[in-house]
Amino acid sequence: MVPPSLLQLGVVRDLPDPNIRWFGLPFSSKKVNLSKDAFVLGVRDAPLALAGFVANVPLAVAGGEDRATSNPWLPIAAALEALGEAIGAAVFFAKMPRKERAWCPYCVVAAFASFAVFALTFPEGLRAGVHLLRRRAQG
């Protein structure tokens, strides 16, 4: 999400796009990233997505191998953070062809990365949640 962030923040004026059509639509990073839909809570969405990816790093490395049982809130936080990113990515992914009639290749890659991060964090987050529920049921 660095290139779209640079575009949205005005550091660069345009981004290179593949000169092909995908599902019948062209790639146009500029059209997608500078649209009204690329604002979230009054700020551009690419820097927010970048911050979300950065937030994944400490959540992924903290707590050790058995953190689902020793520190279950870490994998739960990681899974919830990744779920939020995946939902946001899905919403923006769906808007690109519908509203902008174009794709942003950087955003497409980031969306698939968001889905992958969630898929990787979900099993451990689920184990941690089950562990907490069992611990609570035991007293």
Please give, one letter per residue, the 3-state secondary structure of the chain: CHHHHHHHCCCCCCCCCCCCEECCEEECHHHHHCCHHHEECCEEHHHHHHHHHHHHHHHHHCCCCCHHHHCCHHHHHHHHHHHHHHHHHHHHHHHHHHHHCCECHHHHHHHHHHHHHHHHHHHHHHHHHHHHHHHHHHC
Which pLDDT value is given to residue 40? Answer: 80
Task: Judge if pTM exceeds 0.85.
Answer: yes
Q: What is the pLDDT of residues 46-93, one digit of tens each?
A: 999 999 999 999 999 999 889 999 999 999 999 999 999 999 999 999
Q: Does domain 2-138 have CATH number 3.30.360?
A: no
**Inter-residue long-range contacts of 37-41, CB under 8 Å, 24+ positions, other chains counted:** 37/92, 37/95, 37/99, 37/100, 38/8, 38/92, 40/88
Tokens 């919403």 label which residue?
Answer: 91
Q: What is the pLDDT of residues 108-138, one digit of tens each?
A: 999 999 999 999 999 999 999 999 999 999 9
Other beta carbons within 10 Å of 37: 15
Which pLDDT value is given to residue 126? Answer: 98
Domain boundaries, the chain: 2-138
